[in-house]
Chain A
Amino acid sequence: DTAVSQTPKYLVTQMGNDKSIKCEQNLGHDTMYWYKQDSKKFLKIMFSYNNKELIINETVPNRFSPKSPDKAHLNLHINSLELGDSAVYFCASSHRTGTQYFGPGTRLLVL
């Protein structure tokens, strides 16, 4: 019954590796987002997709590539992981530009 789910919840990996985080929403929303929360708890938008189309890319390095296979899914693939990528990544969804509903977060630690 989870509205917005993310997997995995925790991700520990070595520098240079490639990893993916998956997000799914069952709310019937047409817009999905990825946010990054750093160690100081600042939350910043990374990407937003509307009807599977990229709407916002907030100067995120090319190593980050979102993919939306359908309106209910927005996955995040990260190439060549760096130490500075360690953070909590949140997926969210909304109907158009309404209230955003957040997933539980994926805690990424790059060693």
Chain B
Amino acid sequence: SQQGEEDPQALSIQEGENATMNCSYKTSINNLQWYRQNSGRGLVHLILIRSNEREKHSGRLRVTLDTSKKSSSLLITASRAADTASYFCATDGGSSYKLIFGSGTRLLVRP
């Protein structure tokens, strides 16, 4: 299966703490993306990092990419209750026209 793995599967933190999620993938990539899915809703794009980039920031989000280890991490700083959601990494698998999703991390931010 091309499906990537995310770690941890579930994460529970207190509001204000940082949350770190990790993603590993199997094939070469052109880019890696992170998406958020609130319960019962569609996916919302958060950030895209290209294979020649090592780190990228967007607001409270920080993404790193290590292509030698085929892994990425998403850091959410100063978490809020509204950050409670499932987070998925997705790669293009080196090919165009599709995304290969990881298994997702369920984040719970307690008020």
Contact = CB atoms under 8 A, between A and B. Distances in A.
A97 interface: yes
A71 B96 CA distance: 18
Interface in A33-61: 33, 35, 41-45, 48, 50, 55-56, 58
B89 to A, nearest CB: 11
Given A97-B92, A99-B33, A99-B48, A45 B42 contact: no
A50 B97 contact: yes
Nearest to B100: A45
Interface string B34-59: 01010001111100100000000000
Interface of B: 3, 30, 33, 35, 37, 41-45, 48, 86, 88, 90, 92, 96-101, 103-104
Interface of A: 4, 31, 33, 35, 41-45, 48, 50, 55-56, 58, 90, 92, 96-97, 99-105
